[in-house]
Structure 1
Amino acid sequence: MTTTPERTMDKVAGRLINGSVRRSYEPAVAIDWDAPLVDGKYFLPKEVVSLYGTPYWEELTEEQRIELSRQEMANILSVGLWFENILNRGLLLQLLREDPTTPFAHYVLTEMGDECRHMTMFGKVIDRMGARPFRMGLADRVAAALLPHFLHGSLLWVGALIGEEIFDAQQRRIMTDPELQPVVAQLMRIHVTEEARHIKFAREGVVHRLQHASRLERFLVANLQGLGGPTMRRCLVHRGIYHRAGLDVERAYREAMANPHHQEMARVGFASLAAFLEDNGLMTRFSRRLWRRSGFLA
């Protein structure tokens, strides 16, 4: 008997549900929220901070560097909150078109539960760091409200991967850094463990959706995914971070945008996803150009 893509996804979903039962976390008890922050420890490893390796970085005091890492981590977690909010709404709309009795639907609900706990965790860590969240502007709020209605089929899964894999690759590299604040290291260990299941599910969703996707869907996804490059760059490096850190905003922004070390970190984070998109025929000249101009491809 032929195995349909839907049945294959149900099998994957069933395995991931079992994995969720065996290894999931409740951040309210998995993180020691009462532990004090450690003087002299960073909120991001030095090499991940946007100004690392620039002339301006060499002029900063150790206290200024740590404060910049605090503000950049607060921004990363804020962006994570926005993304997971959009993803959950996209998944809810997807469920309206699914059979609620299937393992596929049940794992979608399981993942949404994970993402709700992650959003809670991100908010609590921002507060625990003594920082303030970064807020969306009006245009971004309007875009975020509309976007879930356009995330259908393989575009939903590719969008999920853009939001998950780039952060995941960085987290895996830095979560064991001994100079990292313990509360941040605990957050990253939880997030890496649970995001691994989400990434597996999204990748399987892309592969199986493409088995019966139309040429038009393939064309649209392969080109539209390139918009992730400039979006990620704009969200992750912006003037508000340097303003809150008390730096010369224009100089800091200029040096960060031109920083070859920071661009190399971006390329490392995107490398695995870029290879996956290439292998599945979802990279075009247009999308490559967007990712390259944003610093994520050499």
Structure 2
Amino acid sequence: MTSSNDYGFRPATTPSGASVQRRRHIGDRQTTARRLLFAGAAEAAYDPDLDIDWDAAPGPTKNWLPPERISLYGSRLWERLSPEQRRELGKHELVSMLSVGIYAQSMLSMLMFRDVIESRDPVDDHTRFTLASIHDESRNSTMYSRLINATGLPPYRLPAPLRALTKLTLWIPDGPAVLGFRLLIEEMAAQLLRDLTADPDVQPHLRQLALLHAASSARHIEAARAELLRAIDSRGPIRAALHRWVLSAVVAVAYAALVHPAVYRSVGIHPLAGAASAVTSGAYRRNARAATATVREFLRETHRPPGISGVCSITNRRAVR
């Protein structure tokens, strides 16, 4: 069985470096929320506006993304690029990823606000943790936008079809598909940012952002996993199958949506040529599989509902083949 370690990505860890526990048994909802609220209390003092020196000039020779994380890495087009062009492409791809991250986290916040409104008890620990999570998502989006400003580039808007889909966010049925989407977003962001905290060759702004992001991601991932298992166990086989296919489709396109084809214009490459070269490169396939590997492994280990992880794996392989 292929794991995320095979692609150079490390398993999820807590801010202290301990591994995130994949619980076989689902704990009490309120107890879990209360514990995670206390765990996050010490991080409340983190302020991305103050803890990152946004006025500092970016390092002219520092990477905005590690070369191996850039979509064209190892392709023929990559070999034609100068070191300066590779850094420029990495900067544009980072801005594209951060822009998608802002959209995705805004969608998550909308769905979590819906949970608060529909909650039977708006003053319990679970609701308070949901509100705290919305605050964390807003803080992360603030960091993303600040970093985009630091690059000096404008953000990349989602392609029109995806923008249209975002307007239907609140129409998404509650249940495993929504919770799986949340887990996918949290896991992908954690995987993409985790190793950057110790990379001396990337921009210091990005390293500090990755460090602050890690402070909340472990809590969000644990909560999302627990909620997903509860939601799956509470559905019948037919409803679970419908959510399974929706989640499979999201997993299939998630990584592909991170890099806007227009980024290739920054180094004189036509968007279609750049996108075609990227999706056929070995590095792109490795990164795409690694970015979603922890979600697929988690679903495979739980076997809830049967077959969901297999469908996700097959669909994702087709998307990055």
Query: What's the TM-score once normalised by structure 2's chain length?
Result: 0.85
Task: Determine if the alignment matches structure 1 residue 272 to structure 2 residue 294.
Answer: yes
Q: How many residues are aligned here? A: 292
SS in 2 for 1:197: helix
Q: Does 1:91 align with 2:116?
A: no
The 2-side partners of 1:187 and 1:285 are apart by 34
2:266 is the alignment partner of 1:244: yes
Counterpart-to-counterpart distance in 2, 1:201 and 1:285: 23
RMSD: 2.0
Residue 225 of structure 1 aligns with which residue?
247
CA contact (8 A) 1:87 1:148 kept: no
**Cα distance, 1:31 vs. partner?**
0.8
SS for the counterpart of 2:106 is helix
Are the aligned partners of 1:51 and 1:259 in contact in 2 as well (CA < 8 Å)?
yes
Shift of 1:238: 3.5
Counterparts of 2:28 and 2:254, CA distance in 1: 32
- Which stretch of the first structure deviates more once superposed, 286-295 or 93-102? 286-295
Q: State the distance in 2 between where 1:247 and 1:47 align.
A: 19
With over 3 angstroms needed to count, the CA separation of the structure-2 counterparts of 1:265 and 1:137, relative to structure 1, is closer
Partner residue of 2:195 out of 130, 152, 173: 173
Q: How far did residue 56 of structure 1 move?
A: 1.2
| Structure 2 residues not aligned, in runs of 5+ | 1-24
**Deviant stretches of 4+, over 3 Å:** 284-288
- Does the CA contact (< 8 Å) of 1:90 and 1:151 recur in 2? no
Find out whether 1:288 has 2:308 as its counterpart: no
The answer to whether structure 1 residue 21 and structure 2 residue 12 are counterparts is no
Counterpart contact for 1:228–1:291, Cα < 8 Å: no
C-alpha distance in structure 2 between counterparts of 1:157 and 1:241, whole Å: 31
Report the alpha carbon displacement of residue 231 of structure 1 after superposing the two structures with TM: 2.5
Verify: 1:53 aligned to 2:74, yes or no.
Answer: yes
The percent of aligned pairs where both chains have the same amino acid is 27
Superposition map of 1:120-199 within 5 A = 120-199=142-221
User: Does the CA-based 8 Å contact 1:242-1:249 persist in structure 2?
Assistant: yes
Residue 175 of structure 1: SS of its match in structure 2?
helix
Shift in alpha-carbon separation, 1:49–1:105, aligned structure 2, 3 A = same
The answer on whether the counterparts of 1:71 and 1:245 sit within 8 Å (CA) in structure 2 is no
CA distance, structure 2, for counterparts of residue 151 and residue 134 of structure 1: 28
Between stretches 106-115 and 271-280, larger displacement belongs to 271-280
> Following the alignment from structure 2 to structure 1, what is the Cα–Cα distance between the partners of residues 171 and 26?
22
Please, which runs of 5 or more residues in structure 1 have no aligned partner? none
Task: Supply the distance in 2 between the matched residues of 1:66 and 1:236 (Cα, whole angstroms).
Answer: 18
| Range with greater deviation from structure 2 (286-295 or 50-59) | 286-295
Following superposition, the deviation at residue 208 of structure 1 comes to 2.1
For residues 276 and 316 of structure 2, the distance between their equivalents in structure 1, rounded to whole angstroms, comes to 19
Length-normalised TM-score, structure 1: 0.92
2:136 equivalent in structure 1: 114
